């Protein structure tokens, strides 16, 4: 973890042995990825996939593959990375750090697919909770089917949350940025969170208002112009789009060229409680408009984060 730079300067004659301490603020962008259904983060994934296929007797497919393509005359051949989104959409998120404290968090996802955020939403707007909905639908099987189809639709297009759950092993890239870059990204994240909270922008797979696109394009954009854009072919619509798997893959290459990036892994099988406390502390701090020094310490500083 890169820490703030501390310098000393004399303020009185040398014989008084007096110094002032100046702490230079340090600013960081942390990019997080859940991309565990491919060999990107699991070298044994292909072997495990074959074993699962034999046990379940169902086809298994990596969520991120390199497919060989060639022209119709066989003169040109290349490998093209492809995100098989139906196998696993993956997830990308971010948070900002000033000195040692995380200050704001952005994780965009469909509200219908996050039970905890959905329960909070229903409570805020005094809507029936899930148990009450189940009781109302119980006498009507057709209504239950319709409700289920509606939930599936809302996972592709529907109300979004900016605090979408993180439930798998995550890889974090910590990037040192300037104060101006920090302030610009922070401003963008506040704007994004506001439009989502005000329901002015819905989660939308069709136009790729999704997790990775919002982080890379809407929040960061050209503020970090040399950062990878995270695009690859996406098989659901045969388009070339920003997605978590391609973004992670390109960040691995980007890391090799920069000395201002560190990579950390947090295994949520062992650290889910610690991670949840961290995320809730950022969220609660933003709601209460706390000063940065009262925000939670970056989880990367904890013993559980591994390089």
Q: Is residue 1 one of the residues assigned to a domain?
A: no
Name the domain count of the chain: 2
Q: Is residue 40 one of the residues assigned to a domain?
A: yes
pLDDT of residue 240: 84
Judge whether 295 and 101 are in contact, CB under 8 Å. Answer: yes
Boundary-marking domain end, from 128, 161, 194: 161
Q: Is residue 7 one of the residues assigned to a domain?
A: no
210 and 75 together in one domain: yes
89 and 211 together in one domain: yes
166 and 43 together in one domain: yes
pLDDT of residue 13: 59
253 and 142 together in one domain: no
Q: Is residue 22 one of the residues assigned to a domain?
A: no
Token pair 């798997």 in the structure block, residue: 245
122 and 181 together in one domain: no
58 and 166 together in one domain: yes
Boundary-marking domain end, from 130, 146, 161: 161
Where in the sequence is the domain holding 239, given as residue range(s)?
Answer: 29-108+162-301
Task: Provide the whole-model pTM.
Answer: 0.85
- If phi > 0 it is left, if psi is from -120 to 50 it is alpha, else beta; for residue 3 that is beta
pLDDT of residue 302: 74
181 and 47 together in one domain: yes
pLDDT of residue 5: 52
119 and 250 together in one domain: no
Closest CA to 286 of 180, 208, 193, 200: 193
242 and 152 together in one domain: no
pLDDT of residue 290: 74
Q: Is residue 297 one of the residues assigned to a domain?
A: yes
262 and 151 together in one domain: no
Q: Is residue 20 one of the residues assigned to a domain?
A: no
Task: State the first-to-last Cα distance of the chain, in angstroms, to the nearest integer.
Answer: 10
Closest CA to 223 of 258, 186, 195: 186
Q: Is residue 2 one of the residues assigned to a domain?
A: no
The residues of the chain scoring below 70 in pLDDT are 1-23, 54-55, 58-59, 69-77, 236-238, 291-293, 303-305, 307
pLDDT of residue 33: 97
257 and 176 together in one domain: yes
> How far is it between the farthest Cα atoms of the chain?
88
pLDDT of residue 149: 83
Boundary-marking domain end, from 96, 129, 161: 161
117 and 169 together in one domain: no
- Helix intervals (H) in 59-178: 115-124, 130-137, 141-156
Burial of 50 (0-12, 13-18, 19+ CB in 10 A): exposed
Q: Is residue 173 one of the residues assigned to a domain?
A: yes
């Amino acid at each position: 973890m890169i820490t703030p730079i501390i310098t000393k300067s004399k303020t009185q004659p040398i014989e008084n042995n007096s110094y002032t301490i100046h702490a230079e603020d340090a600013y960081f962008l942390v990019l997080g990825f859940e991309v565990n259904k491919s060999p990107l983060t699991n070298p044994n994934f292909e072997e495990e996939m074959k074993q699962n296929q034999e046990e379940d007797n169902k086809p298994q497919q990596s969520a991120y593959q390199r497919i060989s393509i060639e022209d119709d005359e066989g003169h040109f051949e290349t490998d093209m990375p492809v995100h098989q989104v139906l196998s696993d959409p993956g997830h990308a998120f971010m948070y900002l750090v000033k000195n040692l404290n995380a200050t704001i968090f952005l994780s965009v996802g469909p509200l219908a697919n996050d039970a905890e955020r959905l329960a909070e939403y229903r409570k805020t707007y005094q809507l029936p909770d899930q148990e009450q909905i189940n009781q109302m639908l119980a006498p009507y099987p057709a209504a239950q089917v319709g409700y289920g189809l509606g939930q599936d639709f809302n996972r592709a297009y529907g109300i979004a949350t900016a605090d979408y759950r993180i439930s798998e092993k995550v890889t974090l890239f910590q990037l040192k940025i300037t104060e101006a870059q920090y302030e610009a990204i922070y401003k963008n994240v506040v704007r994004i969170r506001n439009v989502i909270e005000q329901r002015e922008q819905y989660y939308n797979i069709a136009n790729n208002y999704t997790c990775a696109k919002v982080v890379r394009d809407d929040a960061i954009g050209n503020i970090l112009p040399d950062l990878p854009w995270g695009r690859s072919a996406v098989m659901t619509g045969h388009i070339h789009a920003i997605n978590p798997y391609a973004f992670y893959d390109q960040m691995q290459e980007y890391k090799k060229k920069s000395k201002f990036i560190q990579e950390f892994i947090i295994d949520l099988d062992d650290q889910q409680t610690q991670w949840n406390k961290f995320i809730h502390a950022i969220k609660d701090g933003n709601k209460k408009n706390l000063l940065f020094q009262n925000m939670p310490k970056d989880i990367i500083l904890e013993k559980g984060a591994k390089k």
